[in-house]
Structure 1
């Protein structure tokens, strides 16, 4: 049975004894910052702990379990689905950012092991000089997003077009359970093996990935390695209608040659081209120059972008952007030929400035957590089979029509971004913007120059209430069309719609690894 010690009088000193004085935060600013995500604010936290070793994390979990204190794990903190927001007051949040060692890069056996708080940007920087990378090598937010947080949430972006989501690159996990027990998965679980292979018996790695931290806290992650291909090229297309964009993106996805594929609607095209200032533009342009294959090609790429300016999408309603990674010029030409053959029946090729910039500067500062005019921003997404996208979009248009007057009155704008996942998934990501006050998270994450150039707005409770309603209605609409989701957290109804036996088995696993229900209670609907 848990002790009856009063947490506020006894817990914090005992945590400091285990973790060290600086690893336990209880000041109001820290509790406020860590107690919110991009969109919402959770129940008040008792404390935030930031262990700097896996051993001290295990010790802290044993103590918290003994005292009956709920634990909420957090990675980079850039989600919006309440994944690390406490359900009720008095939880302790575990910030895994202090676990940031790269443990092993094995170029012979082609795997890497890193602690869960390592960012994707840091991992990629360590692998690049060796000519290596992971198949999936990070989300747009990789400057802050951590390996452990990503494996708990799952994610897409770099490498997704050919290699799928983040968890598709996983080989194994080291996980601390609620009571401080430690398990490993895949071949890593074997006494005389190493984390080189995932599927040795039932796939336990899968049970602990995409789990929103409900099953345990990732302490270390093992990922597959591949050779980094020396040639990278972008190619872009413009379309007049969404149906043309969808047709092209589906056709290109089926070719399986684009490393990344993303599309923008008219609003996001203008936003992406309108954001930034001279300083950030120059930073990105210099990144393009550094990424070139030599001084002549670097200058040529920079000149093309300058000449195209921000008007290369004039007259284009929708755009799709692709990158390919090739071993040599022949492979590059073959890949581009296949993309052109798939996309050209639907639209026309345009300047490739956008994929060139994205790849040259893959992990930019996260100034997009606010809109271009300082508005609040929140995304909502779903992954659909290509055959169901049109019906979903028709229902979405009807939803927007029903709320048009209210959205206009409260200045809520809706946009969308699109990605393809391997050959079989279409990610339809909505983005909403509305005028409202900033949260502490925005002030902490925005670059100072970006923050001072954006206006502030007063609190807008009516607009925020409508935004919450729209968010829930969109989630229900995705469920109606059978969508899957990343970063499930407490937002997406993964367990509500499950086959009953599937839910029962998942609940049994949860009961085994977290019998007292103290590990991220409420995540996944468990």
Structure 2
């Protein structure tokens, strides 16, 4: 039971005693920033703590547990699904960003152990000189997204076409539970064990993957390693219809050779090509040069991109972009031949500028959290089997038609990006743009030059309300078509849709691990 003597007045001094003054933050700017995500604002926070060590976190959690204070874990903060937004006033947010050490790189047994707060960009930079990488090696937001936060939310992007989602690369976890006790999973949980193997008995590692921090706070993560393939190539195709693009993306996915595969609709193509300026263009072009296989090939690739410019998607409605990673030229040719054979019946090959630039500059600054004209932006997504995509799209177009007048009146525009996951999943990600006031969150995340140059808009409460309703209706539509979701947070109703036996089992686990219900209450629908 909570200790009623542990009041707000004496809790913060106790936290400062175990963590240090600099690790307990209560100023208004910090509370406002950490109380927001890309789209929404949570209930007011009591404090933000930023433990510098795992021992410090384990010392702080019993204080919060005895006081009955809600605890909200946060990684890099790039969520839009309310995953780390408190649903009641007075919660303490745990910022894991200072837990950013690499604990072990084991090239013999092919695993790496990192603290949860390390970013994907930092981890990849440490592994690259060793000729190693993790199978999934980060989302687009990897310059800020942390490994632990990603494992709580799950994610796709780099490596997903072959190796699946982020959680598919997990070997084991070290988790701090609500009362301050420590749990390890996989072979790491055994006496004398090391985190080289995930499955030893029931898969407890999977239980904590994608849990939105509802079961505990990830302190350390063990990931599988693979050899880094030195030959990387992009190939792109253009299509006139969505059906052609879907057919090509499904056919290529079944080949299992594209490390990444993403598609863009007409609106998002224009948005992506409209973003950036000369400075960012040069930065990406120089990255292409550094990523080349040699001086001559680098110059050739840079010249092709310059010649193609931003007009290589003219007269193309939809596009799909692929990358392959190979050990040598022979393997590269074989992979590209299979992709071209699968995609060519549906469209035509176009300049490969986009996948080349993405891979050369995989973790760019996060200026895309606003639109190219400073508009607010929020995505909503679902993962569908290929056979259900067409029916979902038809219902989505009907949903948009029903709101067309209101969307036009409030300046809300809808776009979509598409990805394939391994051989069996199609991620249909909606992106909405509308003119509204910028939040403190955006000014902290944007590069200073972007924050200063992008237009600002006045508050648009009617547009924001319509956007919230559209977001909820899109989630409900995904549900009607049996979609799965990443970064469940508090947005996607995973437990609400679950069969009763599964829901009861998951609820029982939550009760066992967090009897007071203070660990990220509201996440996963608990």
Q: Which TM-score band applies after superposition, normalised by the shorter structure?
A: over 0.9
Q: Which residue of 1 aligns with 2:113?
A: 113
Deviation at 1:6, TM superposition (A): 5.5
Q: Which residue of 1 aligns with 2:496?
A: 496
Q: Does 1:156 align with 2:156?
A: yes
Q: What secondary structure does 2:433 align onto?
A: strand
Q: Which residue of 1 aligns with 2:123?
A: 123
Q: Which residue of 1 aligns with 2:517?
A: 517
Alignment of 1:93-112 (within 5 A): 93-112=93-112
Tell me the distance in 2 between the aligned counterparts of 1:115 and 1:9. Answer: 31
Deviation at 1:7, TM superposition (A): 3.4
Q: Which residue of 2 aligns with 1:462?
A: 462
Q: Which residue of 1 aligns with 2:255?
A: 255
Tell me the distance in 1 between the aligned counterparts of 2:3 and 2:170. Answer: 38
Q: What secondary structure does 2:496 align onto?
A: coil
Tell me the distance in 2 between the aligned counterparts of 1:192 and 1:297. Answer: 50
Q: What secondary structure does 2:89 align onto?
A: coil
Alignment of 1:80-479 (within 5 A): 80-479=80-479
Q: Which residue of 2 aligns with 1:75?
A: 75
Moved over 3 A (4+): none
Tell me the distance in 2 between the aligned counterparts of 1:32 and 1:230. Answer: 44
Per the normalisation by structure 1, the TM-score is 1.00
Q: What secondary structure does 1:321 align onto?
A: strand
Tell me the distance in 1 between the aligned counterparts of 2:501 and 2:229. Answer: 44
Tell me the distance in 1 between the aligned counterparts of 2:63 and 2:452. Answer: 43
Tell me the distance in 2 between the aligned counterparts of 1:522 and 1:406. Answer: 31
Q: What secondary structure does 1:316 align onto?
A: coil
Q: What secondary structure does 2:454 align onto?
A: coil
Deviation at 1:5, TM superposition (A): 2.9
**Contact kept in structure 1, 2:6 and 2:66, CA below 8 Å:** no
Tell me the distance in 2 between the aligned counterparts of 1:453 and 1:336. Answer: 41
Q: What secondary structure does 1:325 align onto?
A: strand
Tell me the distance in 1 between the aligned counterparts of 2:9 and 2:109. Answer: 50
Tell me the distance in 1 between the aligned counterparts of 2:452 and 2:344. Answer: 43
Per the normalisation by structure 2, the TM-score is 1.00
**Contact kept in structure 1, 2:61 and 2:180, CA below 8 Å:** yes
Q: Give the unaligned 5+ runs of structure 2.
A: none
Tell me the distance in 1 between the aligned counterparts of 2:45 and 2:6. Answer: 15
Tell me the distance in 1 between the aligned counterparts of 2:6 and 2:511. Answer: 26
Q: What secondary structure does 2:129 align onto?
A: helix
Tell me the distance in 2 between the aligned counterparts of 1:273 and 1:109. Answer: 43
Q: Which residue of 2 aligns with 1:507?
A: 507
Q: CA RMSD in A?
A: 0.5
Q: Which residue of 1 aligns with 2:34?
A: 34
Tell me the distance in 2 between the aligned counterparts of 1:7 and 1:340. Answer: 65
Tell me the distance in 1 between the aligned counterparts of 2:8 and 2:490. Answer: 27
Tell me the distance in 1 between the aligned counterparts of 2:383 and 2:161. Answer: 14
Q: Give the unaligned 5+ runs of structure 1.
A: none
Q: Which residue of 2 aligns with 1:62?
A: 62
Deviation at 1:146, TM superposition (A): 0.2
Deviations 1:145-181 (A, max 9, x none): 0010000000000000000000000000000000001
Q: What secondary structure does 2:362 align onto?
A: coil
Residues paired across the two proteins, number: 526
Tell me the distance in 2 between the aligned counterparts of 1:503 and 1:4. Answer: 32
Q: What secondary structure does 2:156 align onto?
A: coil
Q: Which residue of 2 aligns with 1:4?
A: 4
Tell me the distance in 2 between the aligned counterparts of 1:387 and 1:320. Answer: 19
**Contact kept in structure 1, 2:177 and 2:514, CA below 8 Å:** yes
Tell me the distance in 1 between the aligned counterparts of 2:271 and 2:225. Answer: 35
Deviation at 1:9, TM superposition (A): 1.1
